[in-house]
Amino acid sequence: MFVAFIIGLLALAFSLYLACSTLKNDPGPREIADISRAIQVGATTFMRREYRVMGLVALPFALFLALVLSPYVVFAFIVGLVCSTLSSFIGMSIATRTNGRVAFAARNGLSKAMNVAFSGGAVMGMAVVGLSAMGISGVYLLFDLLPFTPEPLAVITGYSMAASFVAIFVRIGGGIFTKAADIGADLVGKVEVGIPEDDPRNAAVIADQVGDNVGDVAGLGSDLNQSYTDTIVSSLLIGAAAQSIGGLYLGEKSVIFPLLLVAAGIVASALGILMVRMLSQKGVIRPEAVLKVGMLTSGVLSSLGILLLSHFYLGHLGAFYATTSGLVVGLLIGLNTEYYTYKKPIRFIAESSEAGAATTIIAGLAVGLESTVLSMILLGLGMIIAHHFAGLYGIALSGLGMLSILGINLAMDAYGPIADNAGGIAQMSRQGPEIRHITDRLDAVGNTTAAIGKAFAASATAAASLSLLTAYSEAAHIVRLDIREPRVMAGLLIGGVLPALFSSMVIKSVGRTAQLIVIEVRRQFREIAGLLEGKTQPDYSRCVDIATRGALGQLALPCLLAISVPFITIFTLGREALAGLLAGCIVCGIFLALFMANAGGAWDNAKKLIEGGELGGRGSLAHKASIIGDTVGDPLKDTAGPSLDILVQLIATVSLVFTPLFLRMLK
């Protein structure tokens, strides 16, 4: 346990080092620094207000937890709240300070810019894994040392609950913010007024850039922080219960092993990150190749570490096979996503665009549907393999395996929006075409790493929530969970439709908020004299404010849904129905999340393909159709899809955390 704590601390220190090294880069001339600064202020304002709302809800919730469960759980909850909030805030903070530096570094070539962007993203990667490892092992150690408190495992679920709690606000709020601003900016700017994307005359353009940071950096970070935390916590619980539920059981070692595994993964991630920095400092040219080498290095090192741990610490290689199966499944799902969002299928969508927008959409839907197939089958087979080697404990371990190199995965994911932002800043500050060319190149790679990141987040959600489902049914003393039982089957059907309800709510929220932004941007063009001619500046902060209020105001309903469903289900249909509901929600939720992420990514890159000059290039009919495809995909891939990860895990976590209460009340 101590090892995990120390490694977590070291990861945090490494994150700090990366942050300093990133910030040492030149922020660039005033025209760049000013825009970067505006984005920074906007993002910080949004996050601060988001945290305030979160705090206001967390307070009564903590009291409720204290009343119905125990004050110790509340302590874990608060520690979790602090760690999860910090990691998303650090990531966002550094990202907003990196974007301008990347735009400036692009003057010194692709490798240099790439190095800065990746290092900025790596800050969040290491902060998330470091804080999570420290927080969980810290809480565990504390309750283990204090003799008069309950079992550490009984309170640790509070930490999980906190990670989910933060993720709702940061992921869903950020997701609504980013797409409302993006769509709002495009609808008036590109469609009505006819000015290019990222044009400084558009009042919503800063809000759009802010959105990339609060949605795709902080949001994705909190999403994967939740998966990471949930997987670790459920591994600990299942490790402790392995004796009763079957599977590999090796005493206390089963409980310690997951944290050692996490520590090994953190070290491997850090080495992979160093490798990427080294390669890009040396000027190796292709960014895709550099990132892949880094990822593979981490994967191989992590496997090696797990092998050594399994052999020497656990003395049983089953755990190694189970963990590695998860790691391999995660990598394969990444490759599958890369194929569907970067290779042949996007050409199919682009070619379909020649017959108009309708065929663009139909082609994208077909590609999105197909793209989920291999991933879900891999998840299923991975489970069977993991179970074969180490029982239900093995399934939890395979989830950990998938997430073990989260540090470098997250670094790659956060690199995407930073590169995107850098491109926007280069455009807004009217840099020359050679700079734009480099940032575009970085951005295209970033699009794919972002799509991979989303597919990875969905798969990690599957792994985490399957473990949570096991942990819940164990805690709820469910003996028989037969699909033929009508309550279980009804749970499956009802759970299967929750993701649909949730995503429809979120999509509508984006639409409503975007509408408000459209009205504001139109008003500014009408009322501010000389704006369209570029003589005066628009009032950027108003749009940031509208997006903030829209995002935070529309959070309530979907959150209430996610939190109340387990309560309603268990008290009307019973414990088994809730387990069935979880299973249905996992299956349909992961399917929809993968579908939305991949279809959205494919539409985006099909547009990029045409903009690259193929099939008529910019301005052609195919291009117009592909823009419609991209716009449809935006709220799917950046808001609704990722928010399903939160829904699924939140329902699972609430079910697990409140089981003691349920059992008391059902008696």
Q: Which residues between 177 and 196 bind a second copy (CB under 8 A)?
A: 187, 191
Task: Please identify, using beta-carbon distances, which residue of 8 and 495 lies nearer to a second copy.
Answer: 495
Q: Is 546 exposed, middle or buried (0-12, 13-18, 19+ CB in 10 A)?
A: buried
Q: Which 185-244 residues touch a second copy, going by CB under 8 A?
A: 187, 191
Sole window of 95-103, 215-223, 256-264, 383-391 interacting with a second copy (rule: CB under 8 A): 383-391
Candidates 383, 422, 552, 615; binder of a second copy (CB under 8 A) is 383
DSSP 451-471: HHHHHHHHHHHHHHHHHHHHH
Q: Is 373 a binder of a second copy (CB under 8 A)? A: yes
Q: Which 121-180 residues touch a second copy, going by CB under 8 A?
A: none
Q: Is 562 a binder of a second copy (CB under 8 A)? A: no
Residue whose C-alpha is closest to residue 417's, from 437, 439, 447, 440: 447
Task: Please identify, using beta-carbon distances, which residue of 308 and 358 lies nearer to a second copy.
Answer: 358
Task: Please identify, using beta-carbon distances, which residue of 47 and 488 lies nearer to a second copy.
Answer: 488
**In the complex, minimum distance from the CB of residue 511 to a second copy, in angstroms, rounded to a whole number:** 7
Q: Which 579-638 residues touch a second copy, going by CB under 8 A?
A: 579-580, 583-584, 587-588, 590-591, 595, 627-628, 631-632, 635-636
**In the complex, minimum distance from the CB of residue 643 to a second copy, in angstroms, rounded to a whole number:** 13
HEC string of 494-561 equals: HHHHHHHHHHHHHHHHHHHHHHHHHHHHHHHHHHCCCCCCCCCCCCHHHHHHHHHHHHHHCCHHHHHH
Sole window of 195-203, 303-311, 410-418, 467-475 interacting with a second copy (rule: CB under 8 A): 467-475
In angstroms, rounded to a whole number, what is the distance separating the alpha carbons of residues 59 and 46? 20
Q: Is 392 a binder of a second copy (CB under 8 A)? A: yes
Task: Please identify, using beta-carbon distances, which residue of 114 and 506 lies nearer to a second copy.
Answer: 506
Q: Which 495-514 residues touch a second copy, going by CB under 8 A?
A: 496-497, 500-501, 503-504, 507-508, 511
Q: How many CA atoms lie within 13 Å of 514's alpha carbon, on the beta-carbon side?
A: 25
**In the complex, minimum distance from the CB of residue 358 to a second copy, in angstroms, rounded to a whole number:** 4
Task: Please identify, using beta-carbon distances, which residue of 182 and 338 lies nearer to a second copy.
Answer: 182
Q: Which 343-372 residues touch a second copy, going by CB under 8 A?
A: 352, 355-359, 361-363, 365-367, 369-370, 372
Task: Please identify, using beta-carbon distances, which residue of 67 and 384 lies nearer to a second copy.
Answer: 384
Q: Is 461 a binder of a second copy (CB under 8 A)? A: no
**In the complex, minimum distance from the CB of residue 490 to a second copy, in angstroms, rounded to a whole number:** 3
Task: Please identify, using beta-carbon distances, which residue of 323 and 470 lies nearer to a second copy.
Answer: 470
**In the complex, minimum distance from the CB of residue 619 to a second copy, in angstroms, rounded to a whole number:** 17
Candidates 55, 196, 283, 380; binder of a second copy (CB under 8 A) is 380
Task: Please identify, using beta-carbon distances, which residue of 109 and 356 lies nearer to a second copy.
Answer: 356
Task: Please identify, using beta-carbon distances, which residue of 493 and 665 lies nearer to a second copy.
Answer: 493
Q: Is 491 a binder of a second copy (CB under 8 A)? A: yes
Q: Which 393-412 residues touch a second copy, going by CB under 8 A?
A: 395
**Measuring CA to CA, how many Å separate 27 from each of 41, 42, 92, 244?**
16, 18, 17, 58
Q: Which 470-489 residues touch a second copy, going by CB under 8 A?
A: 470, 473, 480-484, 486-489
Sequence letter at residue 484? R
**In the complex, minimum distance from the CB of residue 624 to a second copy, in angstroms, rounded to a whole number:** 10
Task: Please identify, using beta-carbon distances, which residue of 386 and 435 lies nearer to a second copy.
Answer: 386
Task: Please identify, using beta-carbon distances, which residue of 127 and 395 lies nearer to a second copy.
Answer: 395
Q: Is 553 a binder of a second copy (CB under 8 A)? A: no
In angstroms, rounded to a whole number, what is the distance separating the alpha carbons of residues 130 and 128? 6
**Measuring CA to CA, how many Å separate 119 from each of 258, 415, 654?**
28, 8, 35
**In the complex, minimum distance from the CB of residue 606 to a second copy, in angstroms, rounded to a whole number:** 14
φ, ψ at 87 (rounded to 5°): -65, -40
Task: Please identify, using beta-carbon distances, which residue of 45 and 515 lies nearer to a second copy.
Answer: 515
Sole window of 50-58, 230-238, 328-336, 379-387 interacting with a second copy (rule: CB under 8 A): 379-387
Candidates 289, 304, 335, 377; binder of a second copy (CB under 8 A) is 377
270: tokens are 């850090």
Task: Please identify, using beta-carbon distances, which residue of 270 and 506 lies nearer to a second copy.
Answer: 506
Candidates 240, 469, 544, 656; binder of a second copy (CB under 8 A) is 469
In angstroms, rounded to a whole number, what is the distance separating the alpha carbons of residues 2 and 145? 12
Task: Please identify, using beta-carbon distances, which residue of 298 and 605 lies nearer to a second copy.
Answer: 605
Sequence letter at residue 284? V
Q: How many CA atoms lie within 13 Å of 327's alpha carbon, on the beta-carbon side?
A: 27
Sequence letter at residue 613? G
**In the complex, minimum distance from the CB of residue 411 to a second copy, in angstroms, rounded to a whole number:** 29
Q: Which 19-38 residues touch a second copy, going by CB under 8 A?
A: none
Q: Is 568 a binder of a second copy (CB under 8 A)? A: no
Residue with tokens 């040392």: 145
Scanning 404-432, the segments in alpha helix (DSSP H) are 406-428
631: tokens are 């716009």
68: tokens are 């119905």
Find how far residue 73's CA is from the centre of its chain: 26
CB 100 within 8 A of CB 425: yes
Scanning 343-405, the segments in alpha helix (DSSP H) are 344-352, 357-403
φ, ψ at 286 (rounded to 5°): -80, 115
Candidates 92, 466, 468, 475; binder of a second copy (CB under 8 A) is 466
Candidates 428, 462, 531, 570; binder of a second copy (CB under 8 A) is 462
With contacts defined by CB under 8 A, how many residues of the chain interact with a second copy? 74
389: tokens are 């080697």
Residue whose C-alpha is closest to residue 164's, from 557, 593, 646, 658: 646
**Measuring CA to CA, how many Å separate 209 from each of 94, 244, 419, 615?**
14, 51, 11, 29
**In the complex, minimum distance from the CB of residue 394 to a second copy, in angstroms, rounded to a whole number:** 9
**In the complex, minimum distance from the CB of residue 628 to a second copy, in angstroms, rounded to a whole number:** 5
Q: Where are the beta strands (DSSP E) in 350-472?
A: none
Residue whose C-alpha is closest to residue 110's, from 367, 442, 360, 361: 442
Residue with tokens 């096991």: 470
Sole window of 196-204, 336-344, 465-473, 607-615 interacting with a second copy (rule: CB under 8 A): 465-473
DSSP 228-261: HHHHHHHHHHHHHHHHHH-S---TTHHHHHHHHH
**Measuring CA to CA, how many Å separate 608 from each of 230, 440, 632?**
36, 10, 15
In angstroms, rounded to a whole number, what is the distance separating the alpha carbons of residues 636 and 451? 12
**In the complex, minimum distance from the CB of residue 184 to a second copy, in angstroms, rounded to a whole number:** 10
Task: Please identify, using beta-carbon distances, which residue of 285 and 358 lies nearer to a second copy.
Answer: 358
HEC string of 111-176 equals: HHHHHHHHHHHHHHHHHHHHHHHHHHHHHHHHHHHCCCCCCHHHHCHHHHHHHHHHHHHHHHHHHH
